[in-house]
């Protein structure tokens, strides 16, 4: 794949929810093209639909209107099993609340996407990743005992373990203090740069959005690129 290759293409994507008081449109005519290796920030006021957009891109939800492609494949109308497979292969998630798997150790959390996808685990590479994340000493520790920063590093490791095409991060430093958040963010940015992974990050923090290649603002149910 070349650097100029379009990794994500959204074409008039919209999402409407059914509520007891009638249909509620969250997104309308969202269109954009994102290339390989780009770092994208999506900002917007609270309740503007940022997380909804991220869930659509991450194939956790289905758009009501429009289509979108990831890595050249049309994914709009995939069934659940196909979505799960695609998600495992091409998408990595980092959640604000870490969302580590409670009964698993650090190493087990990180290799989980590979195991789920039935891939062979190259332990050397995984160990190298764990070392990059600064978690070698905590490798076989249960995640409940980790600090917030450590947990988010595990989450980053898990998200990158299967070398995804697209990395989606929802307020990755939202639950961390400033200093820890800075460290985690730096680690994240260094790692995605090294692996040339496309990063889409939702954030309220301008210091974070300013470090991205492109900034999109979600406003009035649609996406506007800030120039």
Partner 1 sequence: MSALKLILLYSLRIVRREWRRFVLPLVSLTVTSIVLVVILLITASSTQLLEEQARELQGGDVVFESNSPFDGATLFSSADISPSDVSEKISFSGTLQSELRTSAFTVEVVDANYPLYGELLLRNDIFNQIENDIVYIDEIGLERLGVSVGDSVSFGDASFIVAGEVLTKPTSLFGGFSFLPTVFMSIESFAKAGIDPALLRAEYSYSAKVSAISSEMIASLRAIEETSPLLNVNIAGQDQRGLQFGLATVSDFLIIAVLITAVLAAVNVYASTLYLVSVERKSLAVFLALGMIKTRLVWVLGTALMYVVLLASALGTLLGIGLFKLLQSGIASHYLISLPTPNILTYSLVSCVLIFLISVMSFIPAIRKSLELNPKQILIGGDDTPRGRRSFLSLAVITFSTLVPLVLLASFLLQSILQGVLVIGGIAVIYIFVAIAYTFFIRILYKQRVRIPFFLRSIVSQKYADGLFGVVSFASLFVALAALCTLALTQVSLERFLANDLTQTIPSTYILDVQPSQKDELAENFPQIELFSNVRARIIAIDELRIQDELAAGNLDVSGELGREFNLTARNELLQSESIVDGEWSAGRSGEISVDEEFAKQADIEIGSKITFSIQGFEVSGTVTSFRSTDSRSGLPFFYFVLSPEDIDMFPSVYFGYAYIEADIQAALGRFVATTMSNVSVLETQALGTLLLQLVGTLLILVLIVTLPPLLIATLLIAMLVVSSYATRRRDGARLRALGMTRKRSFWLYILETLSVASLASVFAYGIGVLVTLLVNTYFLKLDVSPIYDTGLIVGLGLIIFFIFSIALYLYKTDTLELKEILSHE
Interface stretch with partner 1, choices 33-41, 50-58, 69-77, 204-212 (CB under 8 A): 50-58
Interface stretch with partner 1, choices 3-11, 52-60, 68-76, 181-189 (CB under 8 A): 52-60
Q: Does 102 bind partner 1 (CB under 8 A)?
A: yes
Q: Which is nearer to partner 1, 114 or 212 (CB)?
A: 114
Q: Does 88 bind partner 1 (CB under 8 A)?
A: yes
Give 8: exposed, middle or buried? Use CB within 10 Å, 0-12, 13-18, 19+: buried
Q: Does 95 bind partner 1 (CB under 8 A)?
A: yes
The answer to whether 203 touches 211, Cβ cutoff 8 Å, is no
Q: Which is nearer to partner 1, 100 or 223 (CB)?
A: 100
Chosen residue from 118, 124, 210, 227 binding partner 1 by CB under 8 A: 118
Rounded Cα–Cα distance for residues 90 and 191 (Å): 16
Sheet holding 166-170, edge to edge: 91-94, 166-170, 198-202, 39-43, 214-219, 222-226
Q: How far is the CB of 21 from partner 1 (least distance, A)?
A: 16
Considering Cα of 219, then 55, then 46, then 35, what sign does the dihedral take? Answer: negative
Token duo for residue 208: 């974070």
Q: Does 179 bind partner 1 (CB under 8 A)?
A: no
Q: How far is the CB of 17 from partner 1 (least distance, A)?
A: 10
The answer to whether 61 touches 35, Cβ cutoff 8 Å, is no
Give 103: exposed, middle or buried? Use CB within 10 Å, 0-12, 13-18, 19+: exposed
Residue of 54, 77, 70 whose CA lies nearest to 5:
70
Q: Does 180 bind partner 1 (CB under 8 A)?
A: no
Chosen residue from 2, 19, 22, 81 binding partner 1 by CB under 8 A: 81
Where on the chain is the footprint of partner 1 (CB under 8 A)? Answer: 51-52, 54-55, 58, 60-61, 80-81, 84-89, 93, 95, 97, 99-104, 108, 112-121, 142, 144, 158, 170
């Amino acid at each position: 794949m070349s650097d100029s290759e379009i990794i994500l293409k959204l074409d008039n994507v919209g999402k409407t929810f059914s509520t007891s008081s009638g249909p509620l449109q969250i997104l309308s005519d969202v269109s954009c093209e994102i290339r390989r290796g780009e770092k994208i920030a999506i900002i917007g006021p609270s309740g503007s639909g940022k997380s909804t957009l991220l869930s659509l891109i991450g194939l956790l939800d289905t758009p009501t209107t429009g289509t979108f492609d990831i890595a050249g494949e049309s994914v709009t109308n995939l069934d659940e099993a196909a979505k799960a497979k695609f998600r495992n292969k091409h998408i990595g998630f980092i959640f604000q609340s870490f969302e580590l798997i409670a009964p698993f150790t650090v190493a087990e959390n990180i290799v989980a996407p590979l195991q789920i996808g039935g891939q062979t685990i190259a332990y050397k590479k995984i160990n190298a990743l764990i070392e990059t994340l600064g978690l070698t000493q905590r490798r076989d520790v249960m995640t409940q005992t980790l600090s917030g920063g450590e947990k988010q590093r595990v989450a980053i490791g898990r998200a990158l373990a299967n070398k995804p095409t697209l990395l989606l991060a929802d307020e990755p430093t939202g639950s961390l203090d400033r200093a820890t958040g800075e460290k985690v963010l730096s680690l994240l940015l260094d790692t995605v740069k090294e692996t040339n992974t496309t990063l889409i990050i939702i954030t309220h923090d301008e210091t974070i959005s300013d470090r991205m290649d492109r900034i999109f603002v979600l406003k009035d149910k649609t996406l506007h690129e800030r120039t």
